[in-house]
Amino acid sequence: MLAPIEPARVHSPPAPSAELHKHWRTVVRILAARGAGFVLISAGKKPQDKGWQRHPVDEAAALAHLARGLNVGLATGAGSPLRLYAFDMDHDAMRGYDCAALEGSLTIARENAPDKAKFIFACPDELPGRKDTLRIDKKTGQVRGSGTELLALSSTGGCQNCVIAGMHASGAPIRWTGHTIAVLDAAVVAELWRAWTGQELFRTYVPRPSSAPPPALAVVADALRRVDPWSLDYDQWISVLAALKHDYGDDALDLAVHWGQGRPGEVEGKWATFGDHPRPSTVRTIYRLALAAGWQPPRQPEPGRTARPKRRSPPPRRASSGRNGSLLRRLTHQVVRFMHGG
């Protein structure tokens, strides 16, 4: 007789100690004192709330989430009076530890990955999120990229997530070190990014060539009259502004400010962050929203384009005339006379 099969035993990781919980609560309070917003994480590094990029939670919500045994992240790009950001080094974190500008600044790392760390700093300016992925050529084994990411504002203008407290998916606790938060201006951040990645942090906008020129700006302005900016969610609002920048450059800034109805300087600030993008928003985004709101495109041709001529219907056939017509009439007359015996 076969022996019964015992169910497989699942070994759950030990619960975090009281010392760890105190450690995590402390880093949340340090950042909250600098005006930080937080991200509630369900597991690993995945945020649990929809729209978390635009709605960071406060200190009380973050501490309550930690008490339930879940992870908490820093919403980068937010903060008051200075915005909080992080350099996320997924390879060779010693570059951050050895950086004089980041000396003593708050650092987040996990126990089982000494070559990885996140270095938190403050900056008075809006910084764009950037990522220089680490890649290994399978044929040559050559390493490309630095494995460095600037956790800042996303391409849609919302926050990014930097996990600061809790347990990593590998089972290792996340810990912090440091006694201050370094304050860097945008020029220093750009210089560090250039030194570590060989790339420019602030990219010059270059319109992408297109097979067909975009429609006249007046047509787009007419379409936007039917699109209420307050009826859109934040991502759609950003997409419209980005489409205007991509297709028309700074010529459309006045239209963007008038339509966007943002706080003073808000639209101009977002406008400055838009750069070259592999999948940019275009005027099609605006047309789709306008058509859904009942906009009727103009029938007249756009300036600079000639209208296609309408196809003319062929003229009606006329009765035969001339020499051939006279011959036909004589033959018909002869046939009639023959049939009547004439």
> Which residues contact residue 338 at a Cβ distance below 8 angstroms, ignoring those fewer than 6 apart?
none
- Between 72-76, 126-130, 185-189, the lowest mean confidence (pLDDT) is in 126-130
Q: Is the pLDDT of residue 3 over 60?
A: no
- What average pLDDT does range 283-312 have in this prediction? 74
Q: What is the predicted pLDDT for the residue at 301?
A: 53
Q: What is the predicted pLDDT for the residue at 213?
A: 62
Axis-axis angle for helices 217-224, 283-292 (nearest 10): 40
Q: Is the pLDDT of residue 265 over 90?
A: no
Q: Is the pLDDT of residue 180 over 60?
A: yes
Q: Is the whole-model pTM more than 0.75?
A: no
Q: What is the predicted pLDDT for the residue at 10?
A: 46
Q: Is the pLDDT of residue 131 over 70?
A: yes
Q: What is the predicted pLDDT for the residue at 324?
A: 54
Q: What is the predicted pLDDT for the residue at 298?
A: 81
From residue 163, alpha-carbon distances to 86, 124, 277, 298, 320 in Å are: 10, 22, 26, 50, 91
- What average pLDDT does range 78-90 have in this prediction? 89
Q: What is the predicted pLDDT for the residue at 338?
A: 62
How far apart, in whole angstroms, are the C-alpha atoms of residue 184 and residue 189?
A: 7
Q: What is the predicted pLDDT for the residue at 181?
A: 95
Higher pLDDT: 294 or 2? It is: 294
- Between 60-69, 74-83, 89-98, 153-162, the lowest mean confidence (pLDDT) is in 153-162
Q: What is the predicted pLDDT for the residue at 208?
A: 47
How far apart, in whole angstroms, are the C-alpha atoms of residue 197 and residue 190?
A: 10
From residue 211, alpha-carbon distances to 19, 32, 119, 249, 304 in Å are: 62, 50, 44, 17, 16
Q: What is the predicted pLDDT for the residue at 54?
A: 84
- Between 42-46, 107-111, 129-133, 253-257, the lowest mean confidence (pLDDT) is in 42-46
pLDDT digits (tens, 9 = 90+) for 182-235: 999 999 999 999 999 998 888 654 444 555 566 788 899 999 999 998 888 888
Higher pLDDT: 105 or 214? It is: 105
Q: Is the pLDDT of residue 314 over 70?
A: no
Q: Is the pLDDT of residue 304 over 70?
A: no
How far apart, in whole angstroms, are the C-alpha atoms of residue 67 and residue 77?
A: 25
Q: What percent of the chain has pLDDT over 90?
A: 42
- What average pLDDT does range 314-341 have in this prediction? 60
What's the mean per-residue pLDDT of the chain?
83
Q: What percent of the chain has pLDDT over 70?
A: 78
Q: Is the pLDDT of residue 26 over 90?
A: yes
Instruction: Report which listed range, 48-57, 139-148, 151-160, 320-329, is most confident.
Output: 48-57
> Which residues contact residue 76 at a Cβ distance below 8 angstroms, ignoring those fewer than 6 apart?
84, 85, 86, 129, 151, 152, 153, 159, 160, 161, 162
